[in-house]
Amino acid sequence: MSTSTQTAAVAEAAGAKGKGRGKLSEGARAERRLGWLLCAPAVVIMIAVTAYPIGYAVYLSLQKYNLAFPNAVKFVGLSNYGAVLSSPYWWQAFKVTIIIMVVSVAIEFVLGMLLALLMYRTLLGRGTVRTSALIPYGIVTIAAAYSWQFAWTPSTGYLSALFNNSAPLSSTVSSLGVIILAEVWKTTPFVALLLLAGLSLVPEDLQKAAKVDGATAWQRFTRITLPLMKPAILVALLFRTLDAFRIFDNIYILTDGGNGTGSVSVLGYDNLFNALNLGIGSAISILIFICVAIIAVLFIKGFGTAAPGSNLLK
Amino acid sequence: MAAITNGKQKLGWGAANTLVVVIVAIPVLWIVSLSFKTASAITDPSFWPAHWTLANYTGILQSSQFIRPLINSIGIGLIATVIAVLFASMAAYAVARLAFPGKSVLIGMALLIAMFPAISLVTPMFNIERALGLFNTWFGLIIPYVAFGLPLGIYILAAFFREIPWELEKAAKMDGATPFQAFTKVIAPLAAPGMVTTAILVFLFCWNEFLFAISFTSTISSRTAPAALAFFSGSSQFSSPTGPISAAAVVITIPIIIFVMIFQRRIVAGLTSGAVKG
């Protein structure tokens, strides 16, 4: 019934709007004011912590500004961007980030789907699987990263010993493998839970009808389950893709960006705290922001009207 | 629900379940095992320690390098959670119950912030926090944590508040309750589960956060536990900090695992609400 009071309120507001701007009823105007007032603290904090610093980063990125030489600040136009985009470090970090993003999200999606089907199908031990699947989600990323790092350290780790005392964290490709392993272990349960929620929206009757009509299990999965799960799949992929693009914690602990395994986030961090270069660091910040914006826009286009949160406006 | 028809199938699903539990458990058990190994046995790659010792735990629990960050983590997490839940509840109530222009802007803004790359803020915020005297203080972390907790809170709570039967409030008033009583006795108990779910997820986020924690702090006076772990060093320059790091990792992880198990239903509901109902 809450919806009916709400639609009544909306209709009232819309009706009032139809009569012209100044003629809002006293009640509708009070409701507007209350709405804005209630949202104000959240909006102020969100803007203060994101929009304002990003604007400030744009300004900083146009300056030559190194904390080691705080008196030598001067306007240099777009040359910081030129310096970043012509640097092999940026492109190496960019390549590493994209590889980690694509490979880990692909694996997480497949494993997450299998885990979701497992959680959905099994009556026996359903609670146990769900409980244990939540452990990687809840565990502090840094703690899990140390567990993986120690496990792969020669003469300390059981995994290293298992694989002939190998030292995968000492070369680029195998380091990336360990980073992706740590990422997949930590986040597959999150993907599985989102997919499970989508899976439970697929009507059982439809499955049964298709089965009666002779569809195989695979046909039912690809023709019925997957299309009906599209919104859930897109949400899971959107959040995981953006998360994977922002990868920092696991790399910082596992390799600290050594052997050319640093992501763009590690590059940005190192630039600030090792090179103390605010100008270049800000240019990197803005470039990462643009990359994330492009990924997000591509996904949101894929959503159409089913973008996350749209249900809150209905 | 497809019924499990025969014993063979049952066995198959059971095996798959067991596999999941094992994969999840091994990295956790490994760090627990390491935390009980003696300093000299750290270079023994066997999975379980030959001799169990509590030395790593007594070491870190007597060290201010760990205790102080643990207190910071709890304090910063709790304050950020309370503020985020309060502000998110206000905004979510407005989204769920009131008609006002700009609602879709708010929802869009929350979505944008949920997708925001944290690293993009590190460089400018570092400079802003230094200028405002927030660098290396609790509030230097609480403010960004609140900002990143809000979108999650607004989404979960707005979805939740829409489901509350608000006419009960009217009914209570008709029965003679004051507006305050109607709120505290009728609406608040109905809204509490959604707020608890939000609080859990925001607290987990704060407890886990690492990038801001190492960027906006410089000493243990405000460094949180995950950040402090990364700065651990051995008791002498020749002893590796593997044991102490493992023990500290266990101390900050085990309470969270227990917490997640107790509140698993709420966490699952919170993670999936708003996202897929579309």
Specify the CATH number for the domain of residue A246. Answer: 1.10.3720.10
> CATH number, domain at B135?
1.10.3720.10
Give the model's pLDDT for residue A125: 57
Q: Closest by alpha carbon to B99, among A10, A101, A90? A: A10
Closest CB to B124: pick one of A53, A235, A238: A53
Domain assignment present for A278: no
How far is the alpha carbon of A198 from chain B, nearest alpha carbon, in Å? 6
Q: Is B256 on the interface with A (CB under 8 A)?
A: yes
How far is the alpha carbon of A86 from chain B, nearest alpha carbon, in Å? 20
Predicted confidence (pLDDT) at residue B239 exceeds the cutoff of 70: no
Domain assignment present for A185: yes
What's the CA gap between A217 and A210, in Å, rounded? 9
Residues of chain B in contact with residue A2, where contact means CB-CB under 8 angstroms, are 96-97, 162-167
Q: Closest by alpha carbon to B195, among B155, B153, B164? A: B153
Predicted confidence (pLDDT) at residue B177 exceeds the cutoff of 50: yes
pLDDT band at B74 (very low <50, low <70, confident <90, very high): very high
What counts of helices (H) and strands (E) characterise chain B?
13, 0
What's the CA gap between B139 and B153, in Å, rounded? 20
Predicted confidence (pLDDT) at residue A201 exceeds the cutoff of 70: yes
What residue type is A135 in one-letter code?
I
Q: Hey, are the CB atoms on B268 and A45 less than 8 Å from each other?
A: no
pLDDT band at B238 (very low <50, low <70, confident <90, very high): low
Domain assignment present for B5: no
Domain assignment present for B40: no
User: How distant, in Å, are the alpha carbons of A7, A71, B122, B252 from that of A273?
Assistant: 53, 19, 10, 26
Q: Hey, are the CB atoms on B123 and A235 less than 8 Å from each other?
A: no
Domain assignment present for A64: no
Q: How many interchain CB pairs under 8 A, A with B?
A: 351
Give the model's pLDDT for residue B264: 84
User: How distant, in Å, are the alpha carbons of A232, A254, A303, B165, B199 from that of B183?
Assistant: 35, 51, 38, 13, 20
What's the CA gap between A191 and A142, in Å, rounded? 20
Q: Is B241 on the interface with A (CB under 8 A)?
A: no
Predicted confidence (pLDDT) at residue A52 exceeds the cutoff of 70: yes
What's the CA gap between A9 and B12, in Å, rounded? 54
Q: Hey, are the CB atoms on A308 and B278 less than 8 Å from each other?
A: yes
Tokens of A185: 């272990």
Domain assignment present for B128: yes
Q: Hey, are the CB atoms on A139 and B256 less than 8 Å from each other?
A: yes
Q: What is the mean pLDDT of residues B206-231?
A: 93
Structural domain total, chain A:
1
Q: How many CB atoms lie within 10 A of CB A14?
A: 12
Give the model's pLDDT for residue B2: 46
> Residue A210 in contact with residue A203, Cβ under 8 Å?
no
Q: What is the pLDDT of residues A85-143, one digit of tens each?
A: 999 999 999 999 999 999 999 999 999 999 998 888 775 556 778 888 888 988 999 99
Structural domain total, chain B:
1
> Residue A97 in contact with residue A247, Cβ under 8 Å?
yes
Domain assignment present for A231: yes
Containing domain of residue B165, as a range?
63-272
Which chain A residue shows the shortest CA-CA distance from B122? A269
Find the radius of gyration of the CA atoms of chain B. 23
Domain assignment present for A101: yes
B264-269 long-range contacts (CB < 8 A, ≥24 apart) are: B264/A130, B264/A131, B264/A134, B266/B193, B266/B196, B266/B197, B266/B200, B267/A134, B267/A137, B267/A138, B267/B197, B267/B200, B267/B201, B267/B204, B268/A130, B268/A134, B268/A193, B269/B197
Domain assignment present for B185: yes
Tokens of A79: 């040359």
The helix/strand/coil state of A305 is helix
Domain assignment present for A1: no
Residue ranges of A 246-285 with Cβ closer than 8 A to chain B: 246, 248-249, 252-253, 264-265, 268-269, 271-273, 278, 281-282, 284-285
Domain assignment present for A298: no
Domain assignment present for B1: no
| pTM for this predicted structure | 0.88
Domain assignment present for A121: yes
Predicted confidence (pLDDT) at residue B10 exceeds the cutoff of 90: no
Give the model's pLDDT for residue B125: 92
Q: Hey, are the CB atoms on A34 and B94 less than 8 Å from each other?
A: yes
So what's the ipTM on this one? 0.88
Domain assignment present for B242: yes
Residue ranges of A 79-108 with Cβ closer than 8 A to chain B: none
Closest CB to B121: pick one of A50, A148, A161: A50
Containing domain of residue A240, as a range?
91-262
What is the DSSP annotation of A59-113? Answer: HHHTEE-BTTSTT--EE-TTHHHHHHHT-HHHHHHHHHHHHHHHHHHHHHHHHHH
> Residue A51 in contact with residue B118, Cβ under 8 Å?
no
What residue type is B181 in one-letter code?
Q
Residue ranges of A 118-147 with Cβ closer than 8 A to chain B: 118, 121-125, 128-144, 146-147
